[in-house]
Amino acid sequence: MDATDIKILTLLQEDASISIAELAQKVNLSQTPCWKRIQRLEASGIIQKRVALVDPEKVGLGLTVFVSIETNDHSGSWLESFAEFVSEMPEVMEFYRMAGDVDYMLRVVVSDMAAYDGFYKRLIETIPLKNVTSRFAMQRVKATTVLALKASK
């Protein structure tokens, strides 16, 4: 992955609706090799997919909550079913297994407190958890899907 690939990725991460002609021009290539690079990046999975980003506020999903979870039971099969259950909750945008004091970390997006309460009840009713801490966002200062890329390999 050379500097040109990084340029292409950076531009496509910011706007994937750009035409190949314009993209090629911005990275100082003609269409054909530019197109081939994109194909390669897609085939290798570096570009996972192209998606439309929806404004959460405009569709009534204005409440973001970070949820820290501590668990008791740590058996392998329990963890697996826990992971699957949480993954399937549509309000969960991100779900990480953590190192340290917190076992899991979620970012949850809902319409309002009432909706979060519903989510919370579903979460704790279905699964026995040692501790669940909810932290509520007042303001989204920055949210991006653009990774800062550096040359490698």
128 binds, among a copy of itself, DNA, none (CB under 5 to 8 A by kind): none
37 binds, among DNA, a copy of itself, none (CB under 5 to 8 A by kind): DNA
| Lookup: tokens for 122 | 């579903």
Amino acid in position 111: S
By CB under 7 A, residue 47 contacts DNA: no
Q: Give the Cα separation of 7 and 11 in Å (integer).
A: 6
By CB under 8 A, residue 93 contacts a copy of itself: yes
By CB under 7 A, residue 140 contacts DNA: no
Q: 129 near 69, Cβ under 8 Å?
A: yes
Q: Give the Cα separation of 58 and 61 in Å (integer).
A: 7
Which window, 24-32, 104-112, 119-127, 142-150, contacts DNA (CB under 7 A)? 24-32
Q: 2 near 149, Cβ under 8 Å?
A: no
In total, the chain counts a number of residues equal to 153
Count of residues in contact with DNA, rule CB under 7 A: 16
Which window, 34-42, 43-51, 69-77, 99-107, contacts DNA (CB under 7 A)? 34-42
* Residue 8: strand, helix, or coil: helix
Name the site residues for DNA (rule: CB under 7 A). 4, 19-21, 28-37, 39-40
